[in-house]
Amino acid sequence: MIDKNVYGPWAVIAGGSEGVGSAFADQLAEAGLNLLLIARKPGPLEETATAVRDKHGVEVRTLAQDLLADDAVANIGKAVEDVEVGLLIFNAGANSYGHEFVTGDLDGFRGVITLNVDRQLELAHLFGGPMAKRGRGGIILLGSTAGLLGAEHQSIYSASKAFSRVFAEGLWLELKEHGVHVLELILGVTRTPAMERAGLDFDMPGLNVAEPEDVAREGLEKITEGPVWIAGGNYEGAKERIGFPRAEKVEGAAMALRKMMGR
């Protein structure tokens, strides 16, 4: 179990209202960490906060915040300015605008970059600096197997997840000498409400589906084994995706995704 003396007393979870974020909240609260949960929708956010608070007796703060807003990072900083944050989990990345690139809206694509790249950098900078000064702490960035190769209608999202992995590797190198652990936790198909809303058929034969609780547990168990951990039994598949020749890999993955989405 995660050590609150190393990663506490407070943890910040961006994207903490449901799915993997909610699972992280439950497991960290069980370990005795207080939490700031951040999500866009206040309803599910408060439900998760109440459940965790009642079950584990820790302090849980919530911030209903659209991370695309210009003042998002400032508001997050204010929400925990009076406490010591020892763990950041960035679980907020999503494909907020999927579209063929050349016919798509550039502002929509910029929103994907703002959410998945800019906010990740800004929050890692906000909390990573104090962690380095204290000589302890941890940062978990949620990645995706989508970032291992390009994909149609989500080329910007995939590229942002590729950025996240490479950024995590560099950050891991820089912070390890300060006693701060960095992990890029790469997920495959996971049974989350977001995936359900996207219409994914979890019952498709041969599909490897991970559970949010298992993925969160893996991340917390492997936080010291950075810079990258492939969760949910997807290691062999990930190795296959990053191989060569690239045209074969990209087209093969595209065909599989079309089948998964019923296209």
Active site (annotated) includes residue 157: yes
In 3D space, the residue among 99, 92, 144, 159 whose CA is nearest the CA of residue 122 turns out to be 92
Largest Cα separation within the chain, whole Å, is 53
Only one residue has tokens 């929708």, namely 41
Provide the pairing of β-strand 180-187 with 137-144.
parallel
Omega before 130 within 30 of 0, i.e. cis: no
Q: Residue 243 has what DSSP assignment?
A: -
Mind giving me the DSSP string for 152-182? TT-HHHHHHHHHHHHHHHHHHHHHHTTTEEE
Only one residue has tokens 């190769």, namely 149
User: Which residue among the candidates 41, 78, 157, 239 is catalytic per the annotation?
Assistant: 157
- What residue type is assigned to position 163 of the chain? F
User: Which residue among the candidates 7, 78, 161, 235 is catalytic per the annotation?
Assistant: 161
Cβ–Cβ under 8 Å, residues 16 and 190: no
- Tokens standing for residue 58: 């820790």
* φ and ψ at residue 62, rounded to 5 degrees: -125, 150
Instruction: Please report, for residues 57, 59, 205, 224, the alpha-carbon distance to residue 93 in angstroms, rounded to integers and kept in the order given.
Output: 29, 25, 28, 22
Q: Three-class SS of residue 251?
A: helix
Catalytic residues: 157, 161
